[in-house]
Amino acid sequence: MGIKKRKYSKEQKEEIVQRALSGERILTLGKEHNISPGLINRWKRQYLDGELSGNNDQEIKKLQTQVAKLEQMIGKLTMENYILKKEKEYILQRKKEGSSIIELGNIKKFSKKRLIFINIMV
């Protein structure tokens, strides 16, 4: 009778590797799951190389395209945000420059001489 070979699902392998990467001792994990530490180290290497997860080139390219689109969107939103901030600053500055002590309702109370004097002082 030969040795029965056990099969581990991708999820099981990833879970064990994640625990190993989080700091659990590989020897302890091996004893817990009845797996040799060398096999866990191999899974760990495969996981870090991206081989364990089974990502193919097509999926990677799709994700890279999505990242590029999102980066482009971030750039556009950053520029729009910058423009809106500058516009707000400009509007506030214009309001400051345009404001005076004399409002339109009070202007009729002053004589022309006083208005000319006020304009000269400003």
What's the pLDDT tens digit per position in 34-67? 999 999 999 999 888 877 766 567 777 888 999 9
Place of tokens 């799709």: 62
* Residue 16 and residue 70 share a domain: no
* Residue 112 and residue 98 share a domain: yes
In a domain, 4, yes or no: no
- Alpha-carbon separation of residue 15 from 11, 19, 47, 50 (angstroms): 6, 6, 11, 15
Question: Residue 53's closest CA among 6, 10, 8?
Answer: 10
* Residue 48 and residue 63 share a domain: no
* Residue 118 and residue 63 share a domain: yes
- Alpha-carbon separation of residue 16 from 9, 37, 45, 74 (angstroms): 11, 11, 13, 36
Q: Is the full-model pTM beyond 0.85?
A: no
Q: Comparing 40 with 111, which gets the higher pLDDT?
A: 40
* Residue 121 and residue 62 share a domain: yes
Residue ranges making up the domain that contains 35:
9-54
